[in-house]
Structures are given as structure tokens and as C-alpha cells.
Amino acid sequence: MAEDYCRRAKTRIKSAELAHSDKSYPDVVRYGQECVELSLKAALRAVGVEYPKEHDVGRILRAVKDRFPEWFRMETGKLSEISRDLADKRAPSLYGIESSGKAPSDIFGKDDAEKALSDAKYVLNVVIKFLLELQVISEDQIR
């Protein structure tokens, strides 16, 4: 499961990069969120944690941080913050805010997209490092 989630998270990064090149900034945010969710769920799965079926698993990550190596524990605050931020943007990046008549493109611009993409890559890279350390995935599987 962890390997599959990691592979799918990498696909979301590719999708986010393509959306960025197309200037489809809300989609970059959406794909970034999906990458973060899949990455963190891969890490949780790798240490045997059954996470809740919700988009933001940062709270769970912090609650079980003792299952991770020290270097990873030091990252859980930042990883959780990124997870919460992007999970909050998930629905607006797809649907906008209908009550105020704002389309996703009215809400998310280039800066939002670049931050989401950068944050998603950060989370994915931390998780890949962890999964390689655990030997859950190999170098060949992350290319």
C-alpha cells in the first residue's frame, strides 16, 4: 500500500507540473493536496497506522510521531501544517466558493500554485527518504 500511494503521489506531482505549465493554478493546488495526502498516508501505512478516511492526516501523524525515526519526527510539525493548509484548499480548488460566486480561478493564482507545488514536493521527498530508509521502496521504484 505504501509503495502504491507513493507512486500515485509522484503522478500527482507530474499532473501539478503540467497544470502549472498550462497556468491552471487551481488544479496545481488540487494535485498538490492529493500528493500530500497520498504521501503522508504512505508514511502512516508503512509504520502500521490505520489512518482515518479524511484528507488531512496531520493530526494523526503528530499523534503517532514516536513510530518514526528522530529526523522524521522533527518534520512532523511542518508536514502537518502543509497537510492542513492544502486540505483546507481542496474543495475551493475544485469547486470555488459558490456562496460568494467565486470560481477556483478567482481564488488561486500563480503564487498559490507555486507554494502548493513546492510544499507537495517537500512532503513527497521527506516521505520518499523515509520509505527508502525502511526499504519499503527501492531507488528504482521512485524514478
pLDDT tens digits for range 64-119: 999 999 999 999 999 999 999 999 999 999 999 999 999 999 999 999 999 999 99
Whole-structure pTM value: 0.94
What is the per-residue burial (b if ≥16 Cβ within 10 Å, else e) of 102-115? eebeebbeeebbeb
The per-residue pLDDT for 143 is: 61
**pLDDT of 142 above 80:** no
Q: What does the mean pLDDT of the chain come to?
A: 94
The per-residue pLDDT for 137 is: 67
What is d(CA 91, CA 78) in angstroms, rounded to the nearest whole number? Answer: 22
For residues 89 and 1, the answer to whether their CB atoms sit within 8 Å is no
Give the CATH number for residue 132. Answer: 1.20.120.330
What is d(CA 57, CA 4) in angstroms, rounded to the nearest whole number? Answer: 18
In degrees rounded to 5, what are phi and psi of residue 97? -125, 95
Contact partners, residue 86, CB within 8 Å, separation at least 6: 29, 32, 33, 36, 37, 116, 119, 120
What is d(CA 96, CA 107) in angstroms, rounded to the nearest whole number? Answer: 7
Give the count of domains, the chain.
1
**pLDDT of 141 above 90:** no
Cell of 74: 522533527
Residues spanned by the domain of 41: 2-142
